[in-house]
Amino acid sequence: MVGEGPSGSYNVVGSEHADRGVGRHRSDRGWAMAATLHDVARLAGVSIKTVSNVINDYPHIRPTTKERVEAAIAELGYTPNLTARSLRSGRTGSIALAVPDLALAYFAELAASVIAAAEASGLVVTIEQTGSGGRQRELDLLTSPRRKMSDGLIFSPLEMSQDDVAHLNVDYPLVLLGERIFEGPTDHLTMRNVEAARAATEYLIRSGRRRIAIVGAHEGELIGSAALRLQGYREALEAHGIPFDGRLIGPSIEWHRANGARSMREIIERGADFDAVFALNDTLAFGAMRALQEAGLRVPDDVAVMGFDDIDEAQYSIPSLTTVDPGRAWIARTAVSTVIERIEGLDAPPRLLLADFEIVQRESAPAVAR
């Protein structure tokens, strides 16, 4: 482990490059310390400022000097210390994304898009999962010292409520996603939940279904995706003169596949009569389809199924899933550009930005009546 290198100096941990003496120094622990601006300047025989100029493409540098510096950089394998640059500049070059759980397809796909969009702007993304930590976990996240390690936060809460609006008064750029809180002090991106759910329900009605079950309802809740989508559902029923029937409502706090299956089974076992299911998200819909199959009900012949989210999987399930595309890709792109605007100092009142939605017609719910 400790041995003689080519030039007689120490070599520790795994094989390392030769230590050129004039070049890099080393730490007391294993890793060779990275070269600094200083090292480069010394090797190139110029001042540290000149090196900095070369690195930052400062225009007026004598070509020969520039070459010498670049040679030194290459020789030492110098890369700038971004931590130091951050401390100096006040920018970290990273943004944080806080979501409930990356194992949920919706958030994984959102994260993938956010990371891609951020990278196009030269930013990296650190991801935090609030998981099952509940409201307190979400509040803590907003004030964690970690916030200082990124320039801004894109936050999709699942537990906070309108009462927590004051907690959004933070001193860093914050973009809020979702439908837990409105009229807050920050930019807010959300989808048209009520309108989209209403359109989805009307789509089912127009295709000839009248007894439409719901999977994934949050009973007694007034805010959040579940409540808003349920409201859209009720509006559609009302507009078409179809009475609301509580026996068709399958509650489920969590929105995993298992919950969709369980919620669907409850409705079936209850003996309710229905010819369609509106699952409040795609994952629930897959679970519901599973339960329908187990009960010997065919999709879409006996029961049409409508989802919400248009996750990747919806096009490949069997049958493929008719669902609502709530504009996730647009939300990801816009969240990044919005938080960047704030990072760059945009001083404007908080904005509410609404994504467009679209019904994506597939096999689980054909547009035409049976």
User: Where in 60-89 is the site for DNA (CB under 7 A)?
Assistant: 60-62, 65-66, 80-81, 84-85, 87-89
User: Where in 117-156 is the site for a second copy (CB under 8 A)?
Assistant: 119, 124-129, 131, 143-149
Q: How far is the CB of 71 from a second copy (least distance, A)?
A: 18
Task: Pick the binder of DNA from 17, 49, 240, 370 (CB under 7 A).
Answer: 49
Please report whether residue 93 would count as binding a second copy according to CB under 8 A.
yes
**DSSP secondary structure, 137-189, as one string:** HHHHHHH-GGGGGSSEEEE--SS--GGGGGGG--SS-EEEESSS--S-SSEEE
Closer to a second copy by Cβ: residue 348 or 369: 348
Measured CA to CA, the distance from residue 27 to residue 322 in angstroms comes to 59
Q: How far is the CB of 74 from DNA (least distance, A)?
A: 15
CA dihedral sign, ordered 67, 68, 69, 70: positive
Please report whether residue 102 would count as binding a second copy according to CB under 8 A.
yes
Size of the site for DNA (CB under 7 A): 28
Q: How far is the CB of 146 from DNA (least distance, A)?
A: 13
> Cβ atoms within 10 A of the Cβ of 111, count?
18
Are the beta carbons of 366 and 300 closer than 8 angstroms?
yes
Q: Is 89 exposed, middle or buried (0-12, 13-18, 19+ CB in 10 A)?
A: exposed
Closer to a second copy by Cβ: residue 73 or 237: 73
Please report whether residue 16 would count as binding a second copy according to CB under 8 A.
yes
Closer to DNA by Cβ: residue 91 or 256: 91
Scored b (16 or more CB within 10 A) or e, 151-163 reads: bbbbbbbbbbeee
Q: Choose one: 57-65, 222-230, 250-258, 261-269; the region binding DNA (CB under 7 A).
A: 57-65
- Among DNA, a second copy, none, the one that 323 touches (CB under a kind-dependent 5 to 8 A) is none
Task: Pick the binder of DNA from 46, 104, 181, 284 (CB under 7 A).
Answer: 46
Closer to a second copy by Cβ: residue 115 or 249: 115
**DSSP secondary structure, 179-227, as one string:** SS--S-SSEEEEE-HHHHHHHHHHHHHHTT---EEEEEE-TT--SHHHH
- Among a second copy, DNA, none, the one that 47 touches (CB under a kind-dependent 5 to 8 A) is DNA
Cα maximum dimension of the chain: 89
Q: Which of 74, 69, 76, 22 is nearest to 49 (CA)?
A: 69
User: Where in 234-293 is the site for a second copy (CB under 8 A)?
Assistant: 257-258, 261, 286-287, 289-290, 293
Q: Choose one: 63-71, 245-253, 271-279, 347-355; the region binding a second copy (CB under 8 A).
A: 347-355
